[in-house]
Structure 1
Amino acid sequence: MSGSMSGTAHAPSGPAVDAGRSRPRAAGAPRLRTAVLGAGWVSRTVWVPLLEAHPAFEVTALVDADPAVARALVPPGRDIVVGTDPDDLLGLPLDFAVVALPNHLHVPVARTLLGRGVPVFVEKPVCRTTAEARALAAAARGGAGVYAGSAARHRADVQALAALLPSLGDLRALGLDWTRASGIPQRDGWFTDRRLAGGGALLDLGWHLLDVGLDLLGRPGVTDALGAVSGDWIGDADATADWSPRGRNRGTPAHTAGDPVEDTARGFLLTDTGVAVSIQARWASHQAVDSTTLTVEGTKGVAVLRGTFGFSPHRVPRSSLTVLRRGERTVVPLPDEPVGIEYARLVDDLARRLTRPAPSTTGTDGGSLAEIGVLAHCIERLYAAAGRTGPSPATPETWSAP
C-alpha cells in the first residue's frame, strides 16, 4: 500500500481507520518525532491520523513532491515542516520516519534516512528484488532500525486461524488467495509500469499473503517455486478500481505502460519443512466481491479463513473461519471488527518496538530484515519461474515522481 509522491495514488474510499481507539497522549511524555514521506492515500487515511492519535508519536514533518498535497495533511493548528525532497529533512531532529512512496523509491529513500541514523518503517512491498533487500540490510548496519510487516498479521481473524494450527496436526498444505472483483490500480501511473512498480498483483497483494502465510508456518525456507502470470485484464478499462477517479470514468480508453505489470499471478512454493504453498493474487476477476481466503491443511483437519484484507468497499460482509474434520464442519466464532483496525494495532506494535531499550531488526519481530529478504526471495523466484525478470536495469532511483 505505497503512497504517491504526487498525491495521485488512489485506494478504496471505504471506512477510515479508527484513530480514536489509540490511547490519549500522556501529559509530558516524550514522543517520537516522526516524518511521513509520501502524501498519498495510505498516509492520508492511515499513517498521519494514527500517528497523531498515538501517545508515542508526533508527526513533525511531511514530504511529498507536491507541496500542496503535503500541506493538506497538516492537522489544524499544528506547526509541521513540509518539504518536497528528503534533503528538506536535513538538520531536523527525527526519531522515526515512515516511507510511503511509490515502490521504486522505497529502498533509495530508506537508505538515505538510515544513513542519517533515522529508523524507518517501509510500506509494502518493502523492496522489489533481493538485491534491493540486500542494499537495505547493508544500510541498516549503521545501527538504525528497519521496520516493516503486513498489518494483516494483526487482524483478529488471522490470529484466530494461527491459534487453531496446533489442533490441525502436521501441516501439509497452505493455500493463499486474494482476488479482487475489479481493482487494477491507476492505469496511467506508476502502479502498472514494471520499471517503477517492479511487479503487479503478485508484488502488491502477494506480499501481504506471503507475509501472513509464512508467518503461520513459522517462517520456513523455500526450496522450489513454480509460477505463472498473465495480464488479461490490464487493458480493460472496466477492470480499473472503481475507487479511483480514473476508474469511475468508464468511457476513458484503457492506457497501459510500455512494460506493464501482471494483473494475475498464480504460484506454488515448496518449503524446507515439506509444506506445499499455493498462491493466487488477482487485481481483477469475474468475482462479485473482493475476497481473501487462507486454507491450512493438516493431518487432523483443514481450516479455512475467508474475508477481505485491506479497505476495499466491495467486501465479504463478515470474516468466517471453519474447520473440517472427517466430514464434520465446525464454525469458529470471530469478533466483528472495524475495517482497518489492524493498522491501529500495527502502530501500537511499532511504538512498543521503537521505545524498548534495544529494538531488534534481525530477530523474530514482524518485519525484520531477515523476513524482508525471504519475502523478496520468494516473490523473485515466482517471477523467475513465470519468465518475468526484475525491473529494468534503467529503473530510476531519483526522488522525482513519475
Structure 2
Amino acid sequence: MSAPVRVAVAGLGWAARSIWLPRLAALPGYVVTALVDPDPAASAAAAGQAPGARLHTSPDELDPAAVDLAVVAVPNHAHAAVASGLLRRGIAVFVEKPVCLDEAEAAELADAERLGGAVLLAGSAARYRADVRALVDAAATVGELRHVDLSWVRARGVPDAGGWFTDRRTAGGGALLDLGWHLLDAATPVVGRLDVEHVAATVSGDFVNDPTRRAGWRPDAVARERAPGDVEDTVRAFLVTESGVSVALRASWASHEARDTTVLTVEGTEGVARLRATFGFSPHRVGGSTLTTTRAGVTDELDPVDEPVGREYDRQLEELPALLRDPRSRGVAIAEARRAVALIDRIYTSARTVEPTAARTGSRS
C-alpha cells in the first residue's frame, strides 16, 4: 500500500471547513499535515479538524519536502497567485473552481506548472456525480447530438451576501462563474470541447442584495456592513458550437421558485436524455434524482442514481491520488480552465450589450 498523501489546506473558510477537511480526515489515503490562513480565528476554527497539523499564515511557509499536495480554497481572486506560487516551488496543487479568472492567470499557472515540475489538478465536482455519469451514458444512446440544455436554478442561495463572493473584485463574477462553471464542466463529457462560434447572453441582479435570498446553509452568510454586491445572480446564455450544436445555459443563485433544481437535457437525432436533480448543498432540494430517456413520445425512467449529498466530493478525492501520480495529468486542468475562462469571458462580453443598469445586472463594465 502506498503512503497517505500529505496535504496542506490553504484557505480555511466555509469550503475548507465544511467540504474538504471532514472528507480528508475520513479518507485513509490522506493525512492533513498543514493548515494555512492569515486569519487566526479561521485557523483556530479549523485546527480541531486536523489534529497535529502545523499552522501557517502564508503558503510561502510550506515545506515542499513535507507536503505532497496543497488544496487551494482561498477566495477566487487569489486562486492563481497562491497556486502558481506553490507550483513554482514544486508543490502539487488541487485548486477549487474557478481555477483562474482570465487568460493571463491561466498562462501564469501553465508557466508555474512547467517550471516547478509539479502538477495542477482542478476541482469541479459536478462531473463526479453518479447521476451525471449516468446521464453521460444515457446521452450516448440518443443519436447525433443536436442540443444541450443546462439549468441550475436556486430558490434562494446567494452565497456570503455582502462578503467577497458578491464583490466582483474578489469573486471575478457571480452565478456564471460559480454555478455556470459546474454546468459547463458537466456538459463537457457529452459535448466534448466547447468550441463555440456564437454567443448571446443576458445577466441580471434582481436578488443579489435581497437579505431574504441568502444561502441559509452557509453560516457565514450573514448581514455585513459592506458595499452592495455588484455581481450577477442570474445568467442566461445561448451558445452555438462550430459543429452546429446549440447549448442553452441558465444559472441562478436565487429565483421565484420554491425549490432548487438542476436540469440537464441532451437532445439527439434518436431521442432525449434528461436528468433532474439538485446540485450542491442547499436544503431547498427536489426529492432525489430522476433520469429519463424519451423516444417517439415514450418516456422511460432509468434506475435511480441517488446518493448522499456531497458524495461527489468524496469520489473526487478518491480519484485524486491516481491523477497525482499520472504524468499525463500535467497540463490537462490548465488547458480545460483556459477554455472555460475564455468562454465565460465571451458570455460576459455578450451580456455587456444589455441595457439595464449595472447595479441591477451586475454586468461587467
TM-score (norm 1): 0.83
Percent same amino acid among aligned pairs? 49
1:169 aligns with 2:172: no
What residue in structure 2 maps to residue 49 of structure 1?
Answer: 22
Structure 1 residues 107 and 76: alpha-carbon distance in aligned structure 2, compared to 1, 3 A threshold: closer
Choose from 77, 100, 104 the match for 1:131. 104
In 2, Cα distance between equivalents of 1:53 and 1:303: 35
In 2, Cα distance between equivalents of 1:262 and 1:119: 33
8 Å CA contact 1:263–1:283 kept in 2: the answer is: yes
Question: Which residue type is aligned with residue 361 of structure 1?
Answer: R
1:272-292 CA-to-partner distances (Å, cap 9, x unmatched) read: 222101100001101111111
Choose from 341, 346, 353 the match for 2:316. 346
Structure 1 residues 391 and 351: alpha-carbon distance in aligned structure 2, compared to 1, 3 A threshold: farther
User: What is the Cα deviation at residue 355 of structure 1?
Assistant: 3.1
Say which SS state the counterpart of residue 91 (structure 2) adopts. Answer: coil
In 2, Cα distance between equivalents of 1:91 and 1:154: 29
In 2, Cα distance between equivalents of 1:47 and 1:378: 28
1:382 aligns with 2:347: yes
TM-score (norm 2): 0.91
1:204 aligns with 2:178: yes
In 1, Cα distance between equivalents of 2:161 and 2:311: 29
8 Å CA contact 2:348–2:363 kept in 1: the answer is: no
Kindly report which structure 2 residues correspond to 1:228-247, keeping only aligned pairs within 5 A, or say none: 228-245=202-219
In 2, Cα distance between equivalents of 1:224 and 1:293: 23
8 Å CA contact 2:209–2:229 kept in 1: the answer is: no
Kindly report which structure 2 residues correspond to 1:75-224, keeping only aligned pairs within 5 A, or say none: 75=48, 78-90=51-63, 93-142=66-115, 143-224=117-198
User: What is the Cα deviation at residue 385 of structure 1?
Assistant: 0.6
Structure 1 residues 170 and 189: alpha-carbon distance in aligned structure 2, compared to 1, 3 A threshold: same
Structure 1 residues 258 and 289: alpha-carbon distance in aligned structure 2, compared to 1, 3 A threshold: closer
Structure 1 residues 247 and 46: alpha-carbon distance in aligned structure 2, compared to 1, 3 A threshold: closer
User: What is the Cα deviation at residue 138 of structure 1?
Assistant: 1.9
8 Å CA contact 1:102–1:197 kept in 2: the answer is: yes
Q: Following TM superposition, where does structure 1 have runs of at least 4 consecutive aligned residues deviating by more than 6 angstroms?
A: 388-393
1:152-189 CA-to-partner distances (Å, cap 9, x unmatched) read: 11111111110012210110000010000011112221
8 Å CA contact 1:168–1:299 kept in 2: the answer is: yes
What residue in structure 2 maps to residue 21 of structure 1?
Answer: none
| RMSD over equivalenced CA pairs, Å | 2.4
Structure 1 residues 45 and 77: alpha-carbon distance in aligned structure 2, compared to 1, 3 A threshold: closer
Unaligned runs of 5+ in 1: 1-25, 394-402
1:328 aligns with 2:301: no
Question: Which residue type is aligned with residue 58 of structure 2?
Answer: D
Question: Which residue type is aligned with residue 373 of structure 1?
Answer: R
Count matched residues.
357
In 2, Cα distance between equivalents of 1:191 and 1:102: 8
Farther off after superposition, 325-334 or 277-286: 325-334
Which structure would you say has the larger RCO, counting Cα contacts within 8 Å and 6 or more residues apart?
1
In 2, Cα distance between equivalents of 1:102 and 1:157: 29
In 2, Cα distance between equivalents of 1:263 and 1:145: 33
Choose from 254, 270, 273 the match for 1:284. 254
Unaligned runs of 5+ in 2: none
Structure 1 residues 259 and 243: alpha-carbon distance in aligned structure 2, compared to 1, 3 A threshold: closer
8 Å CA contact 2:158–2:233 kept in 1: the answer is: yes
8 Å CA contact 1:149–1:211 kept in 2: the answer is: no
